[in-house]
Amino acid sequence: MKNGRILQTHVWSEMPHQIFQDGRTIAHQRCIRCARDFGFELDGSGWHAVYVGVFRVERLDEEASDRWVSQECPKQILPADDVDRATRPAADRNFISHRSRTYRAHVMKGRD
């Protein structure tokens, strides 16, 4: 399995957690040392670095994903990983706009 040996340097929190999304099955695992999230897709594309949002699992961009999948576990939470997590494609714009709408609604409610 591509990158399987490198990924074994992480310490998984549990058995893979299966997520069904958009007709795909993603096996999700999180490392308890570095808190990186990885998803394994059964479509043959293998392992990807992912961000696990409230509603969806989103792949990080290719550069960040390739780096995470090919690096050994950093054995600590890296602040720079948050920058990598922010690289996921703008597929979550809907989520952000949903959040800002919710925020505005909250602000408006606060005025009452």
For the bound state, the minimum distance from the C-beta of residue 104 to Zn ion, rounded and expressed in Å, comes to 38
Strand 57-59 relative to strand 37-41: parallel, antiparallel, unpaired?
unpaired
Is residue 10 within the footprint of Zn ion (CB under 5 A)? yes
- The site for Zn ion, by CB under 5 A, has a size of 5
Among 17, 33, 46, 56, binds Zn ion (CB under 5 A): 33
Residues 75-94 that bind Zn ion (CB under 5 A): none
The answer for residues whose C-beta is within 8 angstroms of residue 18's C-beta and 6 or more apart is 25, 26, 27, 28
Rg (CA), the chain: 16
User: Looking at beta carbons only, is 10 or 59 nearer to Zn ion?
Assistant: 10
- Using alpha carbons, list the distances in angstroms from residue 48 to 42, 43, 67, 94: 11, 12, 10, 22
Contact 50, 56 (CB under 8 A): no
Is residue 31 part of the contact set for Zn ion (CB under 5 A)?
yes
Q: Which stretch binds Zn ion (CB under 5 A): 8-16, 17-25, 40-48, 100-108?
A: 8-16
34 binds Zn ion (CB under 5 A): yes
Binding site for Zn ion (CB under 5 A): 10, 31, 33-34, 73
